[in-house]
């Protein structure tokens, strides 16, 4: 009986000492060179020509097209290297896809979806097929 009481008090004291784990609330953003300018979305060689004006504010982007404005946003952005970010691009409440953001220069970057029709592998799109090209 004494051993059981001693064991339970020891267990209770170790639970009280263990620190609580908390999640980091830090948000990753695209570089300021991307977020602070107007961009024009071009197309890869596979699609017809777009020339949509895009404006960034944080991880949200407003795409002005001929048919109106669309509001897209990034979630879960992770910096892989100086010029490559991975995350999820939300086109609407129910439509999103994982993407890779490849920053080529301060005046040029690409958004590459993880899966693209007729291409094998993950994030294999390029400027000839599969990527959305953004230039200033």
pLDDT in tens, 49-85: 667 899 999 899 999 887 889 999 999 999 999 999 9
- The reply to whether 125 falls in a domain is yes
Sequence-distant contacts of 115-118: CB under 8 A, at least 24 apart: none
What is the domain-level CATH number for residue 31?
2.40.128
- The reply to whether 22 falls in a domain is no
Calculate ∠ Cα 62-63-67, nearest 5°: 130
- The reply to whether 14 falls in a domain is no
Output the pLDDT for position 8.
Answer: 56
Output the pLDDT for position 3.
Answer: 60
Output the pLDDT for position 52.
Answer: 82
Output the pLDDT for position 120.
Answer: 81
Model confidence, pTM: 0.74
Q: How many CB atoms lie within 10 A of CB 77?
A: 17
Count of structural domains within the chain: 1
**pLDDT < 70 positions in the chain:** 1-25, 43-50
* Residue numbers of the domain that contains 59: 27-135
Output the pLDDT for position 128.
Answer: 78
- The reply to whether 109 falls in a domain is yes
């Amino acid at each position: 009986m004494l051993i059981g009481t001693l064991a339970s008090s020891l267990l209770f004291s170790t639970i009280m000492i263990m620190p609580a784990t908390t999640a980091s609330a830090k948000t990753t953003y695209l570089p300021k060179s991307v977020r602070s300018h107007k961009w024009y979305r071009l197309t890869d060689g596979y699609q017809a020509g777009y020339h949509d004006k895009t404006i960034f504010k944080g991880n949200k982007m407003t795409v002005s097209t001929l048919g109106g404005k669309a509001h897209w946003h990034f979630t879960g952005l992770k910096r892989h290297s100086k010029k490559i970010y991975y995350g999820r691009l939300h086109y609407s409440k129910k439509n999103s896809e994982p993407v890779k953001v490849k920053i080529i220069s301060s005046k040029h970057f690409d958004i590459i979806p993880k899966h693209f029709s007729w291409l094998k592998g993950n994030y294999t799109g390029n400027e000839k097929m599969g990527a959305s090209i953004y230039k200033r």
